[in-house]
Amino acid sequence: MKCPNCNAEVFEGDKFCGNCGTPLTEDEKIQSDQHKKADINLSPYLKALFKTPSRVIEKPNQFNTYTILTTLAVILLILGGLSFIYYEGFYLNFGQGLSIFLRAIFIYLGILIGYGLAMIGTSYISSSVEIRWKTILKSYMSLSVYALLFYVLSMLVSIIGISYLPNTFNIIALITLSLGTYYIYKQYVQTNEKFDSFFVLLIHIVLTGLVSHIIYQYWIIQIWNNAFNF
């Protein structure tokens, strides 16, 4: 049997991993044993994603990493395709399809990376113990799926022509990433005693606010206006 955090070998009666110190509850042992058996395809993950979202965030080691990455990749490709449909039709600029497709994917990847870095920054600044980065990042990938789905809704209503809804879904996506990353932090990171818990929240607000500013003032503008000029 392996530790769900670091994959080191552990034994049946162990309460803690000898390598990383992760508590080995009965639930985590089951997760470790079933990791490769139960969730090697998209169906169980997608079912949990919509039926029990807390499970994919709080117990990410139940799911295969490649399953989560595949889900993210598919949604990113869908967003690239929807962006192509919308902007090609809106600007009637046929011939720049690949550029639009790639720009959209780079933008959404940039958003996910930016908020992921904000979460990592909050964790690194305020943590008092070794951080379980692998588990945290797997939780964040599932959180990213929810955010990207809101962006998909935004693009769909844009294509349909409902002008007042796209920005609403965009804002919901950003709120999902902002609040969701703090939720993940509270699940997995033990705050250093020298940091007041509300002070940690303020740190996270500042970091996510900075990321939001950079993304919309520089990243998106530069990608759409200056990048991939071919």
pTM: 0.77
Q: Which domain holds residue 56?
A: 39-226
Do both 87 and 27 map to the same domain? no
What is the count of structural domains for the chain? 2
Do both 27 and 79 map to the same domain? no
Do both 121 and 178 map to the same domain? yes
- At 62-94, the pLDDT tens digits run 888 999 999 999 999 999 999 888 877 655 454
Do both 17 and 46 map to the same domain? no
Q: Residue 1 — very low, low, confident or very high, per pLDDT cuts 50/70/90?
A: low
- At 198-227, the pLDDT tens digits run 888 899 999 999 998 888 777 666 655 544
Contact 123, 49 (CB under 8 A): no
If you write DSSP's letter for every residue of 85-110 in order, what string do you get? HHHHHHHT-TT-HHHHHHHHHHHHHH
Do both 208 and 142 map to the same domain? yes
